[in-house]
Structures are given as structure tokens and as C-alpha cells.
Amino acid sequence: MTMNHKIIFLAAILAGTAFCKVQGEIQSFALTAGANAVGIALVKPAWLKGTIATVDTKGLRLQDKNIPVASLSNPLQWETVPAYLEISSSPADPKLVGERYEVDVSSNPSANQGWIRLKAAVSNTRQDLPAGLAGATYSVRPHWTLANVFGTSAQTFVRSGRTSSSADEVQLANPLSGNLEGFFLSNDPISKGWRHSRNRQGPEQANVLILPGSGLLIHAKGPLVFSLSGEVRNSTFKLPLRAGPNFVSLGHMTSFRIPDLVGNSSTKFQAGLSPNLADRISLLLETRMENFYLGPTGQQWVCSTSSYPTDVNEVQLFPPNRAFWIHKVKADPNFSIPAPR
């Protein structure tokens, strides 16, 4: 790599604003033609917030006794789109802050004595329901989806096509396998709408979830500029990591250095003499991948693909709009990112 390329690389990282523009509760994106690794840090507005009074650990239910019985004069806003419950504070056990569970939206708590029914799901940050959640505060939010981020055939800003090769393609990690799967907006008269890239005549995919902390790899046929409005997460963000590659994004509307990102996890990152022996982080910068690994002392991250005149540990590599890969030698189900101070 030439010195000019080093300077361009450093400037692109430090400028983060070219890739990320954050204003209040608006997150704006400016994508270029080609591959863009994108993250959504905002959350959709909560339709329910409250305090947990009782925990039914076996029945996978939480009770909020302040939820009123719905009536015509006092209805409870309760939607039936996919949603999740997230813990924002937990006095009895602070380690539970940030835990997330899928919500059974077919069960309205206003008709069930304030009981919020949860669902077992691979996207839950944990599979048990601790009794220590009694007294915790929570919010229930709808998920981002392909449709509510990118639109539908009726109204969209992305380029459609008859195949994924002629349209803008959005790739997401499958929650079960971790492998990337592609989706595109089909304009085929027979199969209009969101389709799986490998099954363009298959079922509608508009409601595919963009889970919290997911990365999006967007292959754009040209520039794309768009904005999302929502709320800012002000509590710890939980992000369980599997062994191997994890395509992720940040849960907060702020920029992070590597030490900010990985220095607070309850499971330490693994150091190594070489990249193949250590935990690694990869990010897409313009058209190339930059790779970093935790050096043998466990104190210093090393860039294995470039060298440039600055300490990589002091550079804000991760603006809120950027998705990236965390490669773990061992799984870390307890990985979390504290709320910015």
C-alpha cells in the first residue's frame, strides 16, 4: 500500500461522517455503487413501556400490573406486527439490562391481566427468563423489516429488477446459520415484491426481520440516499456472538473505537500471535476489507492488511451506520456494549 493510499484510508476512517450522518432521531445514509456494509442504530418507537411486577419463568411470561384492561374509552395500542421486548433497567440484577425477547403479539396483555407473553426464538439474547427481572423496566418495539426500511413495490427508493443481478440487493445474516442471504425487490409482473435472491418466483419476503444488531450488506447499482426516523437506545446493548464470523452493527447512535467496542465484554477477546489464532474484526472500507486482530499482549489491536501512521486503538473506526464482522475463536453469548456516557 502506498503512502497516498494510507492517508486516504486514514482520512476515510476519521471522516466517518461521509458514511454516517446522525441528527437527533434521524439516521441518514449515503451509499455508493457497489457493496455497502450498513448498520441501523436507531430503534423503532416503542408502543409499550413499563415495569415488570411478576415473572413466570416456566410460562415465559412477564406481568405489568399497570397495564389497564382495554375498553372503548381506554384502548391499549397493541399491534400484531413482529415485535420484541427489551430490558432497559434491572435493579435486582443489572447484568440483565439489554436482554431481548420476541413477543407473542397474538396475546394482548390488556385482555390477559397485564401478562406479556414471550416466544422462544433464536434471536432472543437468552433462552431462559430469569426471576431477577421482577422490578425491571422494559419497552416493546416493532422490528425493522425490509418493507419498513426500503419500501415496497408501491413506493420505494431502491432499484427493482427481474433478478437480483439487475436490482439493488440487500443481504442479511440468517439467524440460524449466520450465512448471508440476499433479497431484492422484483418488478416481474408475475412475482412483484420482495423476493429471495435464489428464489425469485418464491413467496413474498417484505416482512423479513432486520434484527437488532444485524449488519446489512447492500449491493447498490448506483448511489442511494435515504433516512430513517426512530428512537435512540440509551441502555446497554446485548449482542451474543457465535464462534466464527458475526456480521453485526452497533446498537447506539455514537461512534466507537475498538477498545470502546470490545473492552467491556464479560468474556475477554482472545489474543494471538497471528490473525488465525486471535479474535478479529473486519470492516469494508470502500472496495477493500480491512482486518484487525488482538495482538499477543491482549492490549493492542493490529491491522494485518495495512500500516499507517497512527495508533489504530485511538481511531473511531465504527460510526453508527457501519456494519462489520467480528470473528470469534470461541462463542461469547454475553457480549454487550454499554450505553455511551
User: Each residue of 85-100: pLDDT tens digit?
Assistant: 999 999 999 999 999 9
CATH level 2 (architecture), domain 48-142: Beta Barrel (2.40)
Residues in the chain: 341
User: Each residue of 226-266: pLDDT tens digit?
Assistant: 999 999 999 999 999 999 999 999 899 999 888 888 765 65
Mean of the per-residue pLDDT values of the chain: 88
How far apart CA 71 and CA 268 sit, in angstroms, is 51
What's residue 258's pLDDT? 87
pLDDT at 339 over 70: yes
Q: Which long-range contacts (CB under 8 A, 24 or more apart) does 186-189 make?
A: 186/153, 186/160, 186/161, 186/162, 187/153, 187/160, 187/161, 187/162, 188/162
What's residue 8's pLDDT? 36
**Average pLDDT of the segment spanning 288-314:** 84
Sequence ranges of the domains in the chain: 1-31+224-341, 48-142, 146-211
pLDDT at 24 over 70: no
User: What does the block give as the cell for 255?
Assistant: 461512534
CB atoms within 10 A of CB 272: 18
What's residue 70's pLDDT? 61
DSSP one-letter code for 275: G
What's residue 259's pLDDT? 82
- Which residue bears the cell 477477546? 269
In our burial notation (b when 16+ CB lie closer than 10 A, e otherwise), range 1-33 reads eeeeeeeebbeebeebeebbbbeeeebebbbee
What's residue 98's pLDDT? 97
How far apart CA 138 and CA 100 sit, in angstroms, is 9
What's residue 282's pLDDT? 95
Helix (H, G, I), strand (E, B) or coil at 285: strand
User: CA 238, 210, 243, 285 torsion: positive or negative?
Assistant: negative
What's residue 19's pLDDT? 35
What's residue 306's pLDDT? 81
pLDDT band for position 131 (cuts 50, 70, 90): very high
What's residue 12's pLDDT? 40
pLDDT at 329 over 90: yes
Angle (nearest 5°) at CA 240 between 320 and 237: 45
What's residue 237's pLDDT? 95
What's residue 287's pLDDT? 84
pTM over 0.95: no
**Average pLDDT of the segment spanning 145-173:** 96
What's residue 75's pLDDT? 57
